[in-house]
Structure 1
């Protein structure tokens, strides 16, 4: 584990940029960016397009360590290059931004009010490659739709089991049990989730470090006690479908919680924009998200 990177994520001012849409969500991300499906054929061209989009974001002067602490990549991006350097090396060496990797393979069908992660075949090999590629940490997502105690227990249990495996490679796992923002019993789900997280954190072995990525809570500062746990490097918030303005407004009320936004970060960016328009849009977004993160 890179102690300089650990210190930056633990104490730095800023937020985590989520650049990790993959698989089924990639066409949607490209469409939001103004690239329609008739502009590429097959997965290889699609991933080349999305890498072009991410390279443009990462190379923008607006994407800087003054506001951004880390960036979450997906496997395809980790294996590609920016200016002759592997993406993770470019992020850290040229930008001072800590690289993370999304490792989950998507969500299983809903059961007991939740969606667990699908099995992750070849995870050990992926984690070995991540270490070789100088990745600092990982991210994996489950979704909670209903305040079902058994379902929420299963979500947290699965997340922590995989987190231990990840920590065994010296990587810092981001545990992401997202609570659906449209859930009718969101507040109740969050109370159940907080109890499960606290119980599992207390059972972690000494020296194991994790991060939590959580939906913006209905009750302000709900997760403050978890942030004080010695195992927790940082708690970050996902935008979860809120607009950037809504997400920032909610985030600003959560003391000590920082953003890890995806759609809310890339909102307003377009392939058709000049570099000047693109950079100024991204600069406005990063500043607004940064300011909401440092409250």
Structure 2
């Protein structure tokens, strides 16, 4: 982590690209890209194909630091190279700050939420992340219905791991996602804001985090979190919304910037010519950027 990277995250206009599809979500990402499961025979082949997809995105002229300030990587992507450089170094050279997804997926639903599975060997992973010049991390939980104990458990688990990540010298992105189809989504977001604030208030001046949150039902619900001195930046996940819907909702929240995955890549296809691929990606990048600077 460098001061320049921290300054970019705090204040530069732009958004964070989420390129961190893991084992469970990779087949769906490849299918959307136009590669079906019968086109690969092993997990290694699957990750080779998704690396090719990510490399095509990252090397595109549309994927530049003019509008993209950060990118979230999967562990296997961190270990691989693009044009002879480790992926994080390639991004850094482009002026884009690299993050690493560190969670191991979601546990079974309990109390209306899915906590993260235990992140085994996190210290070892964080050491490798620093060796690969990663700036920060990301970890996701999922909240499906209003349950006070469940929401408190999600936030506590997120911040317990966040403190371990901070101690390792990285900036954690805390991502307690509220499912967009939750019946009491607005009520959940009010409690989530309060629980996050309580955890932030316990941090020292040397402990800083980023927050990745579902775009709220009521605009500017998270304004106070954006102003909290321990928060580097608040970013939004698209949560399954199509890009036009996600962008419209994002524009309603001043200061909230995007960290989109599906909304960024939903119209990209493996059989597109480079010209069409780059044009399609540029259209997505431009629209997400515009929504992020309102």
TM-score past 0.5 threshold: yes
CA distance in 2 between partners of 1:115 and 1:22 (Å): 17
CA contact (8 A) 1:167 1:209 kept: yes
Partner of residue 2, structure 2 = 2
* Equivalence for 2:22: 22
Structure 1 counterpart of 2:277:
278
The whole-number CA distance in structure 2 between the counterparts of 1:7 and 1:64 is 17
Q: CA deviation at 1:267?
A: 1.2
Q: 1:225-280, CA deviations, whole angstroms, 9 ceiling, x for partnerless residues?
A: 11111110000000001000000000011000000000000010000000000000
Q: Does 1:45 align with 2:45?
A: yes
Partner of 2:76: 76
Aligned equivalents of 2:128, 2:41: Cα separation in 1:
28
What CA deviation, in whole Å up to 9, does each residue of 1:60-115 have, x standing for no partner? 0000001100000010000000011000000011x110000000000000001110
Q: How does 1:83-122 map to 2 (within 5 A)?
A: 83-93=83-93, 95-122=94-121
Between the aligned partners of 1:12 and 1:224, the Cα distance in structure 2 is: 18
- Please name the residue that 2:60 is paired with: 60
Cα distance in 1 between the residues matched to 2:217 and 2:173: 21
Q: Which moved more, 1:11-20 or 1:143-152?
A: 143-152
Superposed CA offset, 1:21-74 (max 9, x none) = 101110100000001112211011100000000000000000000110000001
CA distance in 1, matches of 2:37, 2:148: 41
Distance 1:89 1:237 in 2: 25
Q: What corresponds to 2:245 in structure 1?
A: 246
Match of 2:145 in 1: 146
Name the residue aligned to 1:255.
254
Number of aligned pairs? 294
1:288 to partner: Cα distance: 0.1
CA RMSD of aligned residues (A): 0.5
Q: TM-score, normalised by structure 2?
A: 0.99
3-state secondary structure, aligned to 1:165: helix
Asked if the contact 1:31/1:37 (under 8 Å) is kept, the reply is yes
Pair 1:293-2:287 in alignment: no
What are the ranges of 5 or more consecutive residues in structure 1 without an aligned counterpart? none
* CA distance, structure 1, for counterparts of residue 78 and residue 241 of structure 2: 27
> 2:178 is matched with which residue?
179
Alpha-carbon shift at residue 169 of structure 1 (Å)? 1.1
The equivalent of 1:209 in structure 2 is 208
Q: 1:159 deviation in Å? A: 0.2
TM superposition outliers: structure 1 runs of 4+ over 4 Å: none
TM-score, normalising length: structure 1: 0.99
Measure, in 2, the Cα distance between the counterparts of 1:171 and 1:247.
29
Range with bigger deviation, 256-265 or 36-45: 36-45
SS of alignment partner, residue 23 of structure 1: coil
User: How many Å separate the matches in 1 of 2:208 and 2:202?
Assistant: 12
Partner SS state of residue 24, structure 1? coil
